[in-house]
C-alpha cells in the first residue's frame, strides 16, 4: 500500500514535493495513483490541485516516491544512506500544494475494469 508520508509546501514549484512510501509487502505499480488536495474535491479543481501518475514504475516494498511539483525527468536514484527513491515530476511552473490548505489525499487503483474480446464460441 502506497501512502503519503511527507509534504513540503513551498512558494517555489522546484522546492515543493509530496513524499510517498510503499508500506506494503509487494511491489506496486505507480500508474493510476492520484494525489489530490481537499480543494480539488471541494471545488472540482482537478486540473490545478491534483496529479495522476502515468509512470509505469514498480515501487518495491519500503521504497519511496518523491513527487516534485516542478519540472524534471522521472528516474530512480539512491539517497545518501542508500535508500532507493523514484523521482517523479508534475512539470508545473507554479506551486500546487502551497496554495491548497487542508489535507492532501492519495487514491489508489483498487479495482479496474477492462473490456475483454468476445469469447470464442465452441462448436
In this predicted structure, what is the pLDDT of residue 118?
A: 64
Question: What pairs with residue 37 in β-bridges?
Answer: 104
CA-based radius of gyration for the chain: 17
First to last CA, the chain: 45
Distance between CA atoms of residues 2 and 49, nearest Å? 20
Smallest Cα–Cα separation from 71: which of 49, 96, 37? Answer: 96
Query: Given pLDDT bands bounded at 50, 70 and 90, which one contains residue 78?
Result: very high
Residues 12-56 pLDDT 10s: 999 999 999 999 999 999 999 999 998 888 777 777 789 999 999
Query: Given pLDDT bands bounded at 50, 70 and 90, which one contains residue 121?
Result: low
Structural domain boundaries of the chain?
Answer: 2-107
DSSP state of 32: T
pTM across the whole model:
0.85
Q: Please name the fold of domain 2-107.
A: Immunoglobulin-like (2.60.40)
Contact 6/68 with Cβ under 8 angstroms? no
Question: What pairs with residue 76 in β-bridges?
Answer: 86
Residues 91-111 pLDDT 10s: 999 999 998 878 999 998 876
In this predicted structure, what is the pLDDT of residue 115?
A: 73
Say how many CA atoms lie within 13 Å of 103 toward its Cβ.
6
In this predicted structure, what is the pLDDT of residue 49?
A: 86
Amino acid at each position: 500500500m502506497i501512502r503519503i508520508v511527507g509534504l513540503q509546501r513551498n512558494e517555489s514549484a522546484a522546492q515543493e514535493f509530496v513524499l510517498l512510501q510503499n508500506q506494503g509487502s509487494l511491489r506496486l505499480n505507480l500508474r493510476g495513483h492520484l494525489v489530490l488536495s481537499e480543494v480539488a474535491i471541494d471545488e472540482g479543481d482537478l486540473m490545478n490541485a491534483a496529479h495522476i501518475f502515468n509512470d509505469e514504475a514498480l515501487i518495491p516494498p519500503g521504497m519511496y516516491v518523491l513527487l516534485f511539483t516542478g519540472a524534471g525527468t522521472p528516474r530512480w536514484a539512491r539517497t545518501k544512506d542508500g535508500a532507493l527513491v523514484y523521482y517523479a515530476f508534475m512539470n508545473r511552473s507554479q506551486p500546487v500544494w502551497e496554495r491548497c490548505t487542508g489535507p492532501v489525499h492519495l487514491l489508489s487503483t483498487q479495482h479496474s475494469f477492462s473490456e475483454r474480446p468476445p469469447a470464442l464460441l465452441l462448436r
